[in-house]
Amino acid sequence: MSNDKLILVVDDDPDLVESVSMKLEGEGFQVAKAYDGVEAWDRIKHERPHMLILDVMMPRKNGYELCNEIKKDDEYKDITVLLLTAVADAIPFTTYTHMDGKSTLADDFIPKPIDLDNLMEIVRDNL
């Protein structure tokens, strides 16, 4: 199976980046990786992905900030953004909220953990 769509996986957890990337590669997608919001912006500008699978809680620039910057930028606003986050469930003692996520312009908001097969379906549905 081959697919010319490039998907950028962004999370500060390298294990999650790797498992999602391997699954996407197995489905034939091209994959790029970044481990915080600043690095992700750099990849977006250089590699122009079709989709971002984006974590929320990250150093330097969090996923909400990055999502909003992308969606407010005419050059990049068409990139599909899937927010993938543990914040979707109630987490006490965190500054991040589900409401923050819902107020972004992300194309979908997916709670962690997700079955990777389900994630692939969501990816295909959104491309």
Residue numbers at the binding site for other proteins (CB under 8 A): 12-19, 33, 35-36, 38-39, 42, 46, 57-60, 62, 86, 89, 91-96, 112-116, 118
Q: State which residue, 43 or 50, has the beta carbon closest to other proteins.
A: 43
Structure tokens belonging to residue 100: 């923050």
Q: State which residue, 17 or 70, has the beta carbon closest to other proteins.
A: 17
In 3D space, the residue among 125, 106, 54, 62 whose CA is nearest the CA of residue 85 turns out to be 54
**Residue 62 C-beta: closest distance to other proteins, Å:** 7
Q: To 5 degrees, how large is the angle CA 118–CA 91–CA 87?
A: 40
**Residue 104 C-beta: closest distance to other proteins, Å:** 14
Contacts of 21 (CB under 8 A, 6+ apart): 9, 31, 33
